[in-house]
Amino acid sequence: MVISNRAFTRHVGKAQRAANKQPVFITLNGRPAYVLMSFEHYQRLTKQRRNIAEALAMPDATDIEFEANRAVIKARPADFS
C-alpha cells in the first residue's frame, strides 16, 4: 500500500490496520519517505528476536555523543488577571 503523508496523518488508524498485513509506504512530494510495518514484520526483516523494551533500551548507545545545554529558568511574578 502506498499513501501520501497528508492522507497518512488523516487516516493513521487505517494505515496501522493495513500495516498488519503488509508494509505501508508513505510518500512526501510523491517520493517514498517512510515505511510503516508491524513490529513482527520488522523483527522478521531484521532477524531480531528481542522484545520492544530491549529494543528501546539501546544497548549500543554508549558510542552516541550528546551534550545538553543547562536549562536556565528564571522566576517571574504570577499574573492572576
Q: Each residue of 5-53: pLDDT tens digit?
A: 999 999 999 999 999 999 999 999 989 999 999 988 888 888 766 666 6
- What is the per-residue DSSP string for 35-67? EE--HHHHHHHHT----HHHHHH-TTGGG----
pLDDT at 66: 64
CATH number at residue 28: 3.40.1620
Give the number of domains in the chain. 1
Rounded Cα distance between 60 and 79, Å, is 47
pLDDT at 37: 93
Is the pLDDT score of 68 beyond 90? Answer: no
Longest dimension (CA), the chain: 60
- pTM beyond 0.85: the answer is no
Is 79 domain-assigned?
no
Segments forming the whole domain that contains residue 9: 2-63
Is 58 domain-assigned?
yes
pLDDT at 25: 93
Is 36 domain-assigned?
yes
Is 44 domain-assigned?
yes
Is 72 domain-assigned?
no
